[in-house]
Structure 1
Amino acid sequence: MNAIPLNLPTRRGLYYGGEWHAPKTNRYLQSKSPSTGELLGEIADGTSDDAEAVIAAAQQGFRTWRDVPPLERAKILREAGALIRKHGDELALIDSADGGNPFHEMRSDAAKAAGQFDFFAGLVTEMKGDSIPMGPGVVNFTTREPLGVVARIVAFNHPFMFTAAKAAAPLAAGNSVIMKPPEVASLSAIRLAEIIGHLFPAGVFNVAIGGREMGAALSTHPDIAMVTLIGSVPTGRAIMKAASETLKPLLFELGGKNALIAFPDADPDEVASAVIGGMNFTWCGQSCGSTSRAFIHESIYAAVVEKLPKHVAKYRPGLPTDPATTMGAIVSREQYEKVLRYIDVAKADGAKLLLGGKRPDDPKLAEGNFVEPTVFVDVNQTMRIANEEVFGPILSVLPWSDEKQMLRDVNAVEYGLTCSIWTNDLKAAHRAAAGVEAGFVWVNEVAKHFLGTPFGGYKQSGIGREECLSELLAFTREKNIHVRFAG
């Protein structure tokens, strides 16, 4: 088992104005481990009254932070990144216990979060304006200014990485931030505030714990300059509606029902490995970017299906805090039961169960939200598991023969986040990449993000792009200044 002690945060309230605060209504939520059912303690359940106090503190913090020179802001961001690296294993273990994902993968989440602090620290001087020629006696130019108070609402599948990494760009741009972590996995965000909160002027970095009431308050408040979300499409629609009253700009990364497409010339074993790797079974399929639909050309379909069990075998559910575990637990009982319902629906629709489809037999896992990696084959696009985002460890494999029909099926869903294409035919690769309605496309690769490249979706999968310069600029507004020389 893991030799690193589970160092849970000592604070359980809201962090704002550089201090810790109990919820004004004294309401708390129970935080339970999804793998063991163990109670990890209570966390604040912030309400609209708490939101008012957080926002007021963040406004005050913004007035200080916006005037800090960009390179000084960058220095503080790098210090935050260094502290995250120093405490990386500790933070990863908290996420494993609280969120259900394997410790060895959560370590990479901590490293990625630190990397984004460094990345956006390096871009602070790229928030540049332009000069526009106007002729003699006139200077016309643009500048970029921070927006104000930014609220970022993040999802439960990478609770620490999202809370930390998504603070980096708005802070680099000179905004104050209010991070709202998921109420089902908030402990690593609280610990993050304990570790890096002191680096920033009071009110610049804030953590608002709470459920829907807190999210609604942040989305509607007139003093919030921008709201962002990593979450579900229904939540995105609700926030967009709420934010419309004050015309807030939005940045959303929402759901996905992503496709992997294999052409006839692709190597069946490579494809089988990519099909399983792209499903993100490590996170129990709880990933917006998972390629949960695998479209395999009929000429290699049988060969690919035959090799899937070999590649699935490396993903075995286990206690997330054990470094040897390769597949964790589903984050909540509600989500777990949803996954089991979809397995029943797939069977009723006529999909053929190849692997999994049930709880693991290990008695040590009896109290947790565990489901075996599940693969259905001979799926067609009319089935619910080929159209609806499960957000669980269910993979659908679909044969295809006609390329135009296959692309219609790929694009038939309301989502458009990622797509993975496997072929050695350059024409086929470019043809498919141009034809799929997705914002992030891999060719002969799957599941990877590349810091500096824009990540985001088409259709209902989101608005805007992250992990790149565009994310930084999204947290600024452009001002034009026209100067006529006197005399």
Structure 2
Amino acid sequence: MTDPTQKALDFDYMNARILIDGKLVDSKSGKRYESLNPCDGTVLGTVPEGTKADVDAAVEAADRAQGAWAALPMRERGAYLRRLANALREHADAILDIEVRDTGNTIGEMRLDVANGANQLDYYAGLGFEIKGSTIPATPGNIHLTVREPYGVVGKIVPFNHPLMFATAKIAAPLIAGNTVVVKPAEQSPLSACYLAELCADIFPAGVVNIVTGLGAGAGDAIVRHPKVKRIGFIGSVETGMLIQRRAAEVAVKHISLELGGKNPMIVFPDAELDLAAAAAVKGMNFGWQGQSCGSTSRLFLHEDIHDRVLADVIARIEARKIGTPWDPTAQVGPINNKVQYDKVRNFVEVTLAEGGKLETGGERPEGSEFHPDGYWWKPTVFSGMRADMTLARKEVFGPLLAVFKWSDIDETIRIANSLEYGLSGSVWTQDIDKALKTAQKIDSGYIWVNGVGTHFPAVPFGGKKNSGTGNEESYGDLLSYTEEKAINIILK
């Protein structure tokens, strides 16, 4: 192995490769597919179209490598993760160049993605020694203990909104626990994962990390249904998460964790610090990646006493955000990631107008020669006058559309907030701690901020309730979820 931190990779956008058994290769079929630049719809690069044959090879390689990987001392496994973290930091500029062009996310926000991926690797690298068993005084004179063992091969399927961050951060827990991994990047933004494949080829023993690009119905489904993949982690839509559960159940009993969609409420009381709340409402929409986040606080509930003031402030802040090419360091909003998502956003706008929503700002493409007609450009959009029965009030958009409600009765507001299939996150704004805690406890979501929004905190478990997912991530519990607990009973004479 060489040290990737000591060189710059000569990455070929048009001939990106996948990683199987320590080798950078093309797909077995030789087929490739295009990744488009969302700014103008042009071809940015091509990647292998991996299929079941490629996934089978990757899983077999991971299975062969897993025993030796798990046998390494914990400190050595941690050292490998730290080497990858250091490589990400060393290659941050090259990664960012790929990521912003492939996703449309603004470069200022994407710098945090690279840092977060590296930080998660470092966090789990140091957490491995906490994979502990226990002793149970079940019977006198005997020893009853538990140990934790890795599953073996773990499949990871990651989304298009933060492809590099998720492809790195989400392999950390399985790897430090002694598993090997097969990663399937999002088909819409696969190029940074191919760059990651080149880094991993120089860092990890063959077969420990495998990265296979391809379509969901091909490579993704093959990972889900492979009998040797007993543990799966997926981030994406509710519909795909449910499909994964069904497809996996047809072939084997598998442990599946899902981080799925959200339609997250932000409830603002009249005693809140209103300037901060307005700024948070904008921050929580994640316009730096066009609202394409399952954690976006896309339902804003404003008390009637402060509704007009806060709404005007939110609109002014949104309209002041600069829309521009994502590699412009001053840009705050880039294009939507792909045409499917772009068309979905346009349709939601049309439906909301037809259902009586009041368009406050946005709702159209930005004007100017810098916004290519074939690009997926859209202004951040705010609708007010929302009713609970409106489509935009009930369904996740995964785009730059904010739905604003006026409320007077908190019990009814919480009922509306909890009435959907989603339960990922929520935000409460008030200076009354009693009111804050009671409201936070009543919101049926897995991750709540009080007088905050958006930020994930180190070691605090992030995960959803209801159809927003199963299991938690970014925490000690996440680490343990990549192990199986075994009980050993020693009967002494």
- Check whether TM > 0.5: yes
SS for the counterpart of 2:305 is helix
**Structure 1 residue 7: deviation in Å?**
5.3
Distance 1:26 1:195 in 2: 23
Partner residue in 2 for 1:81? 85
- What aligned pairs does 1:179-218 form with structure 2 within 5 A after superposition? 179-212=183-216, 213-218=218-223
Partner of 1:236: 241
Equivalent AA in structure 2 for residue 382 of structure 1: D
CA contact (8 A) 1:6 1:93 kept: no
1:380 is matched with 387
Q: 2: CA distance between counterparts of 1:362 and 1:8?
A: 32
| Structure 2 letter corresponding to 1:232 | S
**Cα distance, 1:9 vs. partner?**
5.2
Whether contact under 8 Å (2:24, 2:201) holds in the other structure is no
Q: Is residue 28 of structure 1 aligned with residue 32 of structure 2? A: yes
| Cα contact 1:11–1:190 (8 A) shared by 2 | no
Alpha-carbon distance between aligned partners in 1 of 2:371 and 2:141, rounded to the nearest angstrom: 76
Letter in 2 for 1:373: P
Q: Secondary structure at the match of 1:382?
A: coil
2:110 to 84, 94, 106: 106
Q: Are 2:468 and 1:461 aligned?
A: yes
| TM-score w.r.t. length of structure 2 | 0.96
Whole-angstrom CA distance in 1 between matches of 2:454 and 2:238: 21
Match of 2:254 among 222, 245, 248: 248
Contact map agreement 1:7 1:94 (CA 8 A) in 2: no
The residue identity in structure 1 corresponding to 2:490 is V
Match of 2:147 in 1: 143
Distance 1:34 1:174 in 2: 38
Deviation at 1:232, TM superposition (A): 0.2
2:166 to 162, 165, 173: 162
Which amino acid is 1:223 matched to?
K
Show the counterpart of 1:474.
481
Give the alignment of 1:240-389 within 5 angstroms: 240-245=245-250, 246-366=252-372, 367-389=374-396
1:19 aligns with 2:26: no
Question: Higher mean Cα deviation, 46-55 or 416-425?
Answer: 46-55
Shift of 1:430: 1.1
CA gap of 1:153–1:266, structure 2 versus 1, over 3 A, is same
Contact 2:14 2:46 in 1 (8 A): no
Partner of 1:363, secondary structure, is coil
TM-aligned CA deviation for residue 316 of structure 1: 2.5
> Which residue number in structure 1 is paired with residue 180 of structure 2?
176
Q: Please give the per-residue CA displacement for 1:368-396, whole angstroms capped at 9, x wherever unaligned.
A: 10100101111111111010001110001
- Give how far 1:479 is off: 0.8
SS in 1 for 2:370: helix
* Residue number in structure 2 paired with 1:419: 426
List alignment gaps of at least 5 residues for structure 2.
Answer: 1-7
What is the distance in 1 between the residues matched to 2:389 and 2:342?
24
Deviation at 1:309, TM superposition (A): 2.5
SS of 2:360's partner is strand
Aligned 8 A contact 1:357 1:372 in 2 = yes
Counterparts of 2:139 and 2:352, CA distance in 1: 68
Relative to the length of structure 1, the TM-score reads 0.97
Secondary structure of the residue aligned to 1:150 is: strand
Answer whether contact 2:291 2:401 (CA < 8 A) is retained: yes
Q: Secondary structure at the match of 1:438?
A: coil
Choose 306-315 or 333-342, whichever is displaced more: 306-315
- Please give the alpha-carbon distance, in whole angstroms, between the structure 1 residues aligned to 2:13 and 2:152: 29
Distance 1:62 1:314, change over 3 A: farther
Which amino acid in structure 2 is aligned with residue 61 of structure 1?
A
- 8 Å Cα contact 1:154-1:162 kept in structure 2: yes
**Equivalent position of 1:430 in the other structure:** 437
Contact 2:37–2:101 (CA<8 Å) still a contact in 1? yes
Residues 283, 453 of structure 2: 8 Å contact kept: yes
CA distance in 2 between partners of 1:198 and 1:284 (Å): 34
Where 1:266 maps in the other structure, the secondary structure is coil
Measure how far apart 1:481 and its partner are. 1.0
Deviation at 1:55, TM superposition (A): 0.9
Q: Give CA-to-partner distance per residue, 1:59-98, whole Å, 9 cap, x none.
A: 1111221111111101111111111111112112211001
CA contact (8 A) 1:314 1:326 kept: no
Asked whether the equivalents of residues 266 and 422 of structure 1 are also in contact (C-alpha less than 8 Å), the reply is yes
The residue type paired with residue 244 of structure 2 is I
Percent sequence identity over aligned pairs: 42
**Deviation string for 1:447-474 (max 9, x for gaps)?**
1101200000010000000000011100
The aligned counterpart of 1:404 is: 411
| 1:253-276 deviation per Cα after TM superposition (whole angstroms, max 9, x unaligned) | 000000000012113322211111
SS at 1:319 equivalent: coil
> What is the alpha-carbon distance in structure 2 between the residues aligned to residue 10 and residue 192 of structure 1?
16
- CA deviation string 1:196-229 (max 9, x = no partner): 3222111000101100211111111111021111
**Would the alpha carbon gap of residues 10 and 363 (structure 1) be closer, same or farther in structure 2, given more than 3 Å must change?**
closer
Q: Deviations over 1:225-268 (max 9, x none)?
A: 21111000000000000111301000100000000000121133
Relative to structure 1, the CA distance from residue 325 to residue 63 in structure 2 (aligned partners, 3 Å threshold; closer, same or farther) is same
Instruction: State the distance in 1 between where 2:263 and 2:140 align.
Output: 56
Deviation at 1:314, TM superposition (A): 3.9
Amino acid at match of 2:219: M
Asked if structure 1 preserves the Cα contact closer than 8 Å seen for 2:15 and 2:46, the reply is: no
Aligned to 1:128: 132
Change in CA separation of 1:314 and 1:172 when aligned onto 2, cut-off 3 Å:
farther
RMSD over equivalenced CA pairs, Å = 1.5
Whole-angstrom distance in 2 between the partners of 1:41 and 1:110: 21
